[in-house]
């Protein structure tokens, strides 16, 4: 992806900021300047200055009152970097046998210079790993919108089918919050599952509203075509939605 970089900004600094916001906003909260300053070990004043620049480039939405959130552009870049970071961690740890404690710093240095092609090859070489070694965080999905390695392997062995079309800004249904709505973009799964979901009214382009999310990784309740439908978390993660803002 082409990165717009302005004066006093390096690729590394932009990516580091976006990655920090990405990690801090994973639970859906907005991120405060202090948090970023703590993580990046940069003075709050510098953070504020940088955030304003990033906002100008449309990578983040920044307000001194409400804090910072990523734009879709920013999120894509951050996910990409986070993914590269974790793939590198796996590589350093599993293949080069570098100590757990050291892999993070090393990966931080390397992540900014790894090309997308190299990232894909690395993923394949590592047999599509799921989690990174040092903190157990999930490796963000690659651009194929694949959630887990199991899916990736199944997709390559033709066990999985897809209906619908990939568009930009896709979010898996299980990442939506209560009350959010969107349109079904595509669904991935075995043939029977796809047929079932289509029969229940989840055809591509259909509008859905997330009514309820059960706690403890429980099911997601949707409003679809005037009926309420509960989908288990595993199934919901295979349904990708174009979110309405």
Q: Which residues bind other proteins (CB under 8 A)?
A: 161-165, 192-201, 203-206, 212, 214-219, 221, 224-235
Between CA 146 and CA 240 the distance in angstroms is 10
- Measured from the CB atom, the residue of 31 and 194 that comes closer to other proteins is 194
Q: How many helices (H) and strands (E) does the chain have?
A: 9, 9
Q: Give which of 118, 44, 132, 55 is closest to 86, Cα–Cα.
A: 132
- Measured from the CB atom, the residue of 126 and 200 that comes closer to other proteins is 200
- Measured from the CB atom, the residue of 9 and 211 that comes closer to other proteins is 211
> Minimum CB separation from other proteins for residue 141, in Å?
19
Which class for 244: exposed (0-12), middle (13-18), buried (19 or more C-beta within 10 A)?
exposed
> Minimum CB separation from other proteins for residue 169, in Å?
19
Which class for 231: exposed (0-12), middle (13-18), buried (19 or more C-beta within 10 A)?
buried
- Measured from the CB atom, the residue of 149 and 163 that comes closer to other proteins is 163
The tokens describing 219, both together, are: 């099911």
Between CA 141 and CA 233 the distance in angstroms is 17
> Minimum CB separation from other proteins for residue 155, in Å?
14
- Measured from the CB atom, the residue of 38 and 183 that comes closer to other proteins is 183
Q: Are strands 207-213 and 170-172 parallel, antiparallel or unpaired?
A: unpaired
> Minimum CB separation from other proteins for residue 201, in Å?
5
> Minimum CB separation from other proteins for residue 30, in Å?
22
């Amino acid at each position: 992806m082409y990165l717009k970089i302005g004066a006093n900004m390096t690729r590394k600094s932009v990516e580091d900021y976006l990655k920090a916001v990405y990690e801090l906003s994973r639970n859906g909260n907005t991120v405060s300047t202090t948090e970023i300053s703590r993580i990046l070990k940069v003075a709050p004043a510098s953070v504020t200055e940088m955030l304003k620049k990033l906002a100008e480039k449309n990578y983040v939405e920044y307000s001194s009152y409400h804090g910072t959130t990523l734009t879709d552009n920013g999120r894509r870049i951050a996910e990409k970097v986070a993914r590269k970071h974790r793939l590198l961690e796996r590589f350093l740890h599993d293949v080069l046998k570098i100590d757990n404690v050291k892999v993070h710093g090393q990966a931080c240095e390397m992540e900014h210079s790894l090309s997308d092609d190299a990232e894909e090859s690395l993923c394949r070489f590592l047999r599509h790993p799921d989690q990174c070694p040092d903190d157990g965080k999930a490796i963000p999905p690659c651009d194929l919108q694949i959630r887990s390695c199991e899916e990736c392997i199944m997709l390559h062995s033709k066990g999985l089918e897809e209906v619908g079309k990939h568009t930009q800004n896709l979010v898996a249904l299980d990442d939506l919050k209560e009350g959010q709505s969107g349109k079904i973009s595509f669904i991935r799964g075995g043939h029977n599952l796809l047929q079932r979901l289509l029969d229940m009214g989840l055809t591509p382009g259909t509008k859905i509203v997330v009514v309820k999310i059960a706690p403890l990784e429980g099911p997601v309740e949707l409003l679809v075509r005037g009926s309420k439908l509960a989908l288990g978390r595993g199934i919901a993660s295979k349904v990708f939605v174009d979110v309405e803002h």
